[in-house]
Structures are given as structure tokens and as C-alpha cells.
Amino acid sequence: MSLITRDLSPAIGSEVIADAATLLSGSLASEIKAKLTERGVLLFRDVHFDDAELNAFAASISPIDNQDERGNFKVTMDTELNPMALILYGTRAWHMDRLDTALPPLGTLLSPRVLSLEGGDTEFANTYAAYEALSDEDKALIEHLEVEHTTSNQLRHVELPAGVEFPYGHEGLGGDRVHPLVWRHRSGRKSLVLGWTATRVMGMERAESDALIARLIAHAEQPQFTYRHQWRMGDVVMWDNTGTMHRVQPFEEGSKRYLHRVTLAGEEPLVAA
């Protein structure tokens, strides 16, 4: 059986046309993984996986990260369901997951359990395509630069609701780590390592560093490199965390919005160009 897909935008995102039973059989797993690398984001409509099925499907594509083997991470602002819910305000800023580690996750799968009444779309940006579209001058400028990433820095780039104070330094939030700005992948392709976790370009004055980070993110978030997903019940969305940024759009305060996440273990160390 061959993989049937429909592109969702020119540079990023494809819908995979397959029913739940076919996906769970594993017969398309290798093609799905290859398509994930090619297109950055994959959408599976109307599959309605429960947690066991979501985990089984994820594991058929690639090994699940140990952190998620204990159960699906609960993406919700309800602190009774997720004691770390406040960190999710930071996901409203562009980011790549777990840049506080040397081996970032390969990818992520997300499936809704309850949808917000308004807002809550998830946006994705292709950092392979963004790199490839840079001028030769910019590629030469950034080729060997390194950037310090701090997880809590995302919170400085979102508007927190009145009365919400984020506890910076919260345990489990993640510390500082320096990564190359350009990731040379095993395939030979290159992508930008970007997001508002980026606090400074090493060796640059603060003003120059801030301007470069902001300029590159503005470049990568242009419409030609992005896809905005409007959630429906029954969806599963999978994205390549090594070649995309993502962010969630704000939604109403007090929302019962609730999704389950499974993370695919990292396979490729973040290597400089």
C-alpha cells in the first residue's frame, strides 16, 4: 500500500489519507516517517485515537521519548490535570521543543480531547525552507554562529493574562544551552535552530544579537513558510521538531482546551554546519 497525501500549503504540511486501522497496522510507518522529514507536518483526520492507540501509532513511526512512556503529556491550562500548566503560556511564542537538551526530540504527536470555544490554532514554520530562502550573504553571516537558549525566555515574548505571574526558575523548566544557529543534518540539508528560547548570539553585542534573532524569526514566520492548523476532534497532528518551529494561538481564559501529546525520542545530535 502506498502513502496517499494532500499538501496543506506549498512549503509545509500534508494530510495523510488513511483510516485508523491502516495507520495502526504499521504498514505505512516507513513512508510516514520519510514524509514527515520531507513536509515537516502531517495531519491525520478523523482517526479518533485513544491514548493507547496514539502511543502505538507513535511507536510504529519511531521510539517514544522516555518522558512520555509514563503517560501522555496533558496539554491543558488546568493545573489539576497538569501541575506545570503555567509553562504552556510560553508555547504561544515560536519555539522548538526541548532545546535545553543536546538531543532534541525527533518529533511530536498531538491529539485533542477538548477544543477551545475560540482560538487555539497551532501554527508551524518550516526552518529548512526558511534557511534555504536566505540570501548568500545571510547564510555566510550565520553559518558558524552559536545561540544560547533558555526555556523561560519564551515567556518574555507573550502577553500573560492579568494576574498571572510566571515562576521563573521553576524546577523542570530547563536550563541554558548553547546550540549552533544552523543545523547540518545527516541528510546534508540545513535548517535554522530558532525560537524565542533564543536569548543571545554568542560573541555579539546585545543589540546586534537581539536584532539578528528577531530578523530571522520574522523571516521564518512569513506565510510562504508556515501552516496554521485549525483543530477538529479526531485529529492527530505530527511534526518534525528538528526542522520546524511551532506556537499555539491564544484562546479564551478558563478554556477547557485539552490535548494529549506523545514525543518521539531524538535521533540526531544538533550538529553545527
- Which residues of the chain have a pLDDT value below 50? 69, 169-173
Give me the pLDDT at residue 70, please.
55
How many Å separate Cα 16 from the centre of its chain?
19
Q: Locate cell 525560537: which residue?
A: 195
Give me the pLDDT at residue 161, please.
77
In a domain? residue 272: no
Give me the pLDDT at residue 166, please.
62
Q: How far apart are CA 16 and CA 14, in angstroms?
A: 6
In a domain? residue 270: no
Torsion sign (Cα): 66, 100, 246, 85: positive
Q: How far apart are CA 259 and CA 110, in angstroms?
A: 7
Q: How far apart are CA 104 and CA 112, in angstroms?
A: 23
In a domain? residue 271: no
Domain that holds residue 72: 5-264
Strand partners, 246: 95, 124
**Number of independent structural domains in the chain:** 1
Instruction: Kindly provide the residue ranges of all beta strands, DSSP E only, lying in 50-149, ordered along the sequence.
Output: 73-76, 107-114, 122-126, 146-149
In a domain? residue 113: yes
What CATH number did the domain enclosing 223 receive? Answer: 3.60.130.10
Please name which of 207, 221, 215 lies closest in space to residue 249, comparing C-alpha atoms. 221
Give me the pLDDT at residue 72, please.
83
In a domain? residue 245: yes
In a domain? residue 273: no
Give me the pLDDT at residue 167, please.
55
Under a CB-based contact definition with an 8 Å cutoff, are residues 122 and 171 in contact?
A: no
Q: How far apart are CA 41 and CA 226, in angstroms?
A: 10
Give me the pLDDT at residue 79, please.
87
Instruction: Kindly provide the residue ranges of all beta strands, DSSP E only, lying in the chain, ordered along the sequence.
Output: 5-7, 14-16, 41-44, 73-76, 107-114, 122-126, 146-149, 177-180, 182-184, 190-192, 198-201, 226-229, 236-240, 244-248, 258-264
In a domain? residue 58: yes
In a domain? residue 118: yes
Question: Half-sphere exposure of 218 toward its Cβ, with a 13 Å CA cutoff?
Answer: 6
pTM to 2 decimal places: 0.94
Under a CB-based contact definition with an 8 Å cutoff, are residues 120 and 251 in contact?
A: yes
